Amino acid sequence: MKYVTVLCDGMADRKIKELGDITPMTKAYKPHMDMLASKAEVGIVKTVPDGFKPGSDVANLSVMGYNPEKCYTGRSPLEAAGIGIALKPTDVTLRCNFVTLSDNEPNYEDKTLIDYCAGDISTEEAKTLIEYLKKHFDNDEFTLNPGISYRHCLVWNNGDPEPGIITPPHDITGRCIKEYIPVGRSADKLYAMMKKSYELLKNHPVNLNRVKNGKNPANSVWFWGEGTAPKLESFKNKFGLEGSVISAVDLLKGIAACAGMGRPDVEGATGYIDTNFSGKLEAAVNELDSGKDFVYIHLEAPDECGHRGELENKIKSIELIDKLIIKPLLEHLEKTGDYAVLICPDHPTPMEIRTHSSEPVPYLIYKSNRKINSGVSLFNEENAAKTGNYIEKGYTLIERLIK
**29-58 confidence digits (pLDDT tens):** 999 999 999 999 999 999 999 999 999 999
Q: What is the pLDDT of residue 371?
A: 75
Average of per-residue pLDDT across 138-144: 98
91 and 213, same domain (yes or no): yes
- Based on the fold, state whether residues 37 and 89 are members of the same structural domain: no
Same domain, residue pair 172 and 258 = no
Look at residues 171, 202, 227 and tell me which one is the last residue of a structural domain. Answer: 227
Q: Render pLDDT for 206-233 as a digit per residue (tens, 0 to 9).
A: 999 999 999 999 999 999 999 999 889 9
Share of the chain residues as helix, strand and coil, in percent rounded to the nearest 5: 40, 20, 40
Tell which residue, 371, 350, 369, has the closest CA to residue 359.
350
Question: 371-397: buried (b, 16+ CB within 10 Å) or exposed (e) per residue?
Answer: eeeebbeebbbebbbebebebeebbeb
pLDDT at 373: 63
Res 176: pLDDT: 98
Residue 265, domain member (yes or no): yes
- Say how far apart CA 240 and CA 387 lie, in whole Å: 30
Other beta carbons within 10 Å of 299? 28
* Residue 282, domain CATH: 3.40.720.10
Residue 306 lies in a domain: yes
- Domain check: are 204 and 90 in the same one? yes
Instruction: Look at residues 225, 227, 275, 277 and name the one whose alpha carbon lies nearest to residue 116.
Output: 225
Listed range (4-18, 119-133, 372-386) with the worst mean pLDDT:
372-386
The string of pLDDT tens digits covering residues 153-203 is: 999 999 999 999 999 999 999 999 999 999 998 999 999 999 999 999 999
- Domain identity same for 398 and 258: yes
171, 196, 227 - which closes a domain? 227
378 in any annotated domain: yes
Residue 271 located in a structural domain: yes
Give per-residue pLDDT as tens, 202-213.
Answer: 999 999 999 999
229: number of Cβ within 10 Å? 20
Q: Could you tell me the end-to-end alpha-carbon distance of the chain, in angstroms, rounded to an integer? A: 11
Q: 206 and 346 share a domain?
A: no
* Whole-model pTM over 0.75: yes
Examine the domain organization and report whether 221 and 237 are in the same domain.
no
CA 250, 305, 58, 191 torsion-angle sign: positive
Identify the pLDDT of residue 372. Answer: 74
77, pLDDT greater than 90: yes
Do residues 241 and 223 share a domain? no
Flag whether 75 is in a domain.
no
Each residue of 343-366: pLDDT tens digit? 999 999 999 999 999 999 999 999
Confidence band for 384, pLDDT divided at 50, 70 and 90: very high
Average of per-residue pLDDT values in the chain:
96
pLDDT digit string, tens, across residues 148-161: 999 999 999 999 99
Cα–Cα dist 218/116, whole Å: 9
Same domain, 280 and 380: yes
Tell whether the model's pLDDT for residue 68 goes beyond 90: yes
Residues 362 and 379 in one domain: yes
Dihedral angle over CA of 302, 307, 308, 313, nearest 10? 10
Q: Examine the domain organization and report whether 367 and 337 are in the same domain.
A: yes
Flag whether 71 is in a domain: no
CA distance 62 to 385: 19
The pLDDT score that the predictor gives to residue 374 is 63
181 and 88, same domain (yes or no): yes
Q: How many domains does the chain have?
A: 2
Report, as an integer, the average pLDDT of 291-301: 97
Domain membership of residue 74 (yes or no) is no
292 to each of 286, 326, 330, how far by Cα in Å? 9, 18, 17
Where is the domain boundary, 189, 206, 227?
Answer: 227
Domain range for 9: 2-66+233-402
- Predicted local distance difference test score (pLDDT) of residue 231: 85
Residue 72 lies in a domain: no
Q: Which amino acid is at 364?
A: L
